[in-house]
Structure 1
Amino acid sequence: MIIPNYNSARTLELCLRSVFAQTLPAHEVVVSDDASTDDSPGIAARHPCQVVRAERNGGVSAARNAGVAASSGEILFFLDADQALAPDALENAVRLLREDPGLGCVHGIIAPEPLIDDGVVEWYRTLHAHHWRRRGVGRTPTAFFAAAAMPRAVFDEVGPFDEALRDSEDVEYSERLSARHGILLTDRVVARHDEEHQLLPMLGEQFRRAQLLIPFAAAHRGRPGALRANSGLGVAAALLTAGTAPLLLLAPLLPALAVPPLLGLAVFAASDPGLLRFVRERRGTGFLVPFLACHLLVNVQIALGAAAGWARGLVQRDFGVPTARLHGRAG
């Protein structure tokens, strides 16, 4: 079990408790600390695990690689420090890998309840993440290493995580991995996640990650099983709604001006009916309004981020190209 950690004192205790409560005990637990400045290394030291400490912050890829180097197990289970596993997660992951030798990675889904309840934004993030991952269960071209298992032999073959990447390192690694081995997203591996609970940081994160959407979509065009968190129609409708919303100020003078934003909002709400049914079942009808408000803002950021990424691609020929490919390594 390899747990990359950076300033995760808030969640690391819950994470480690879940690790040591597994129905299949881990052969070893390595907490790979990425130069934390909080008490999280001390929290890890109170548990029967090995703590590896970096002298400087290198990002999650560097922490995962350091954890692998310090471990010896034949199966590597990566678990982010802000997640807590269901008791049978490790056992199920190991069983799935052993049942299908063609699999290079098994990764899990987010539970529909947050690890720590911090309000509306966190519930939005948790419910949305659970829904789209559960919908995508099966063979996929992408792995998310927040809760994922893979044979050490596969890791050695594919190579380490790209330490030049601070975002979307999962996507880059998956491109190398899926070229050689199968990837399975399963609902038999479940983890509760402490999602971002503040609106502005969440929107900033969405904008930043969305900049890689266009190069990623180009690289995966036509590949079956691609995971999609949001529908293209929903993103377009959200942008239409936001872009025409100022017309509502003039609608009392000319009611027809209200049509574009209201039409955009209606299309946006109808773009993923399964998601809204799921939210209503989990949190009630009253939660649909704040959920849709958060979802609308996120989709606007995705559209703006994708546009910014497209513009960057025009002036930076190598924008979005994995470092491994730039340097001629496996990809």
Structure 2
Amino acid sequence: MHDQPFVSVVIPNYNYAKTLPRCLEALQHQTYKHFEVIVIDDGSTDESVEIAKQYPCRLIQTRNNGVSAARNLGAAEAKGEIVFFLDSDVALFEDALANTVTAFEEDPTLGSVCGIYAKEALFRDSLFEEYRTLQGYYWRKSSEGYVTAGFFSLGAVRKSVFMELGGFDRRLNNSEDIEFGHRLNEKYRLLLTSKVMGYHDDEDEFRKLARKMHERARQRVPFYFHRKKPTKGFETPLRGIGMLFVGLSTLLLPLALVEASMLWGFLACVLVFLLTDAGQYLFVRKERGLLFTLYFIAMHWAITAVVFWGFVRGFFNFATSRQFRMKYKYGE
């Protein structure tokens, strides 16, 4: 009789034929062996289904309903005491499942254990992807500990807790992690730990990430209004101040192009932005050198500007659209 907890690895997938083999291969090399793999293919139009059939997993095909619905379906089908949600563009370190189980066993108050992405990308597709990979690693690594925002691209939940909470909000496919994490924290604790890690194939184009981050920021406005609780994790007050100064700098930049005196105001805003997250840039300087750090700063300023205007758009939508307020009234 097996005395180790059984783990169900649930992988939602939509058109990730490029990364799915690496994801499934990494699971075959886990040091922890008492688990099953469930792939929920969410209506892929590429070769994902054929790829999944080549690996030891249970494949469930659905029409395209979004990641939240796919995860909920996988959890309902799971036989394990622990449900480990894993995106199909992530390849786990070989000790990830073992360390997850250990964390649950050591702390019975935990409802969830979430991991972080490695500082190396799964595929090095572009310089921009290297920016995003290092940035994501640093923010999560510097936020280790008990948090309120979940990261269920590689995060586990006790199945009993998941079913008690009713799963992810199907209306959300961009901010479902943070909403579920806050609901979970009302009764349980959520641990973010670098002992659970995986290589991630992040966005490799500015346009793709900008669209995603803008919409995520827009959706979070009603969350902050309705929940009335701060998010504990990488969204620190200092980083919030930095974002405000980035927003101001975007207003000053066009003025600086026609009025030289405005340039000093723009540069002052950028300086405040840098100081509010100085540790991040020192980390990048150590990892990749000065030239890449300058590129990193430029990209991070631009993405932060996109996020700022996403929040502005969200506040406008919240004030003018009852449909927006109700549609994104999280957890209700």
- TM-score (ref. length: structure 1): 0.92
Q: Give the CA deviation at 1:178.
A: 1.3
Equivalence for 1:153: 160
Tell me which amino acid in the other structure corresponds to 1:48: P
What is the CA–CA distance in structure 1 between the aligned matches of 2:162 and 2:87, rounded to whole Å? Answer: 18
Equivalence for 1:236: 244
Equivalence for 1:69: 76
Match of 1:270 among 268, 275, 280: 275
Equivalence for 2:300: 295
Equivalence for 1:307: 312
CA deviation digits over 1:89-119, x for unaligned, max 9?
0000011011111100000011111111012
Tell me which amino acid in the other structure corresponds to 1:290: Y
Equivalence for 1:217: 224
1:231 match: secondary structure: helix
1:109 match: secondary structure: strand
What is the CA–CA distance in structure 1 between the aligned matches of 2:209 and 2:283, rounded to whole Å? Answer: 22
Q: Give the CA deviation at 1:131.
A: 0.7
Match of 1:169 among 172, 176, 187: 176
What is the CA–CA distance in structure 2 between the aligned matches of 1:84 and 1:137, rounded to whole Å? Answer: 20
1:113 match: secondary structure: strand
What is the CA–CA distance in structure 2 between the aligned matches of 1:266 and 1:223, rounded to whole Å? Answer: 26
Equivalence for 1:329: none
Q: Give the CA deviation at 1:63.
A: 1.0
5+ residue gaps in structure 1?
A: 326-331
CA deviation digits over 1:168-188, x for unaligned, max 9?
111222222111211111111
CA deviation digits over 1:178-233, x for unaligned, max 9?
11211111111011111111111211111111113333334565557343178022
RMSD: 1.7
Tell me which amino acid in the other structure corresponds to 1:39: E
Tell me which amino acid in the other structure corresponds to 2:56: P
Q: Pick which of 312-321 and 3-12 moved more.
A: 312-321
Indicate how the Cα distance of structure 1 residues 219 and 127 shifts in structure 2: closer, same or farther if over 3 A, else same: farther
1:124 match: secondary structure: helix
1:29 match: secondary structure: strand
Indicate how the Cα distance of structure 1 residues 226 and 218 shifts in structure 2: closer, same or farther if over 3 A, else same: farther
Tell me which amino acid in the other structure corresponds to 1:120: L
Q: Does 2:61 correspond to 1:53?
A: yes
CA deviation digits over 1:211-257, x for unaligned, max 9?
13333334565557343178022212212222111233334xxx423
Is the Cα–Cα contact under 8 Å of residues 224 and 230 in structure 2 kept in the other structure? no
Tell me which amino acid in the other structure corresponds to 2:192: L
1:212 match: secondary structure: helix
Tell me which amino acid in the other structure corresponds to 1:243: L
What is the CA–CA distance in structure 1 between the aligned matches of 2:112 and 2:27, rounded to whole Å? Answer: 19
After TM superposition, the structure 1 = structure 2 runs for residues 107-126 of structure 1, keeping only pairs within 5 Å, are: 107-126=114-133
- TM-score (ref. length: structure 2): 0.92
CA deviation digits over 1:71-93, x for unaligned, max 9?
21111111000001111000000
What is the CA–CA distance in structure 2 between the aligned matches of 1:27 and 1:259, rounded to whole Å? Answer: 58
Is the Cα–Cα contact under 8 Å of residues 122 and 197 in structure 1 kept in the other structure? yes
What is the CA–CA distance in structure 2 between the aligned matches of 1:165 and 1:218, rounded to whole Å? Answer: 16
Is the Cα–Cα contact under 8 Å of residues 10 and 74 in structure 2 kept in the other structure? yes
Tell me which amino acid in the other structure corresponds to 1:320: Y
Q: Give the CA deviation at 1:266.
A: 2.0
What is the CA–CA distance in structure 2 between the aligned matches of 1:13 and 1:4, rounded to whole Å? Answer: 14
Q: Pick which of 151-160 and 224-233 moved more.
A: 224-233
Equivalence for 2:5: none
5+ residue gaps in structure 2?
A: 1-8
Percent identity over paired residues: 38
Equivalence for 1:22: 30
Tell me which amino acid in the other structure corresponds to 2:10: I
Indicate how the Cα distance of structure 1 residues 33 and 270 shifts in structure 2: closer, same or farther if over 3 A, else same: same
Q: Does 2:253 correspond to 1:245?
A: yes
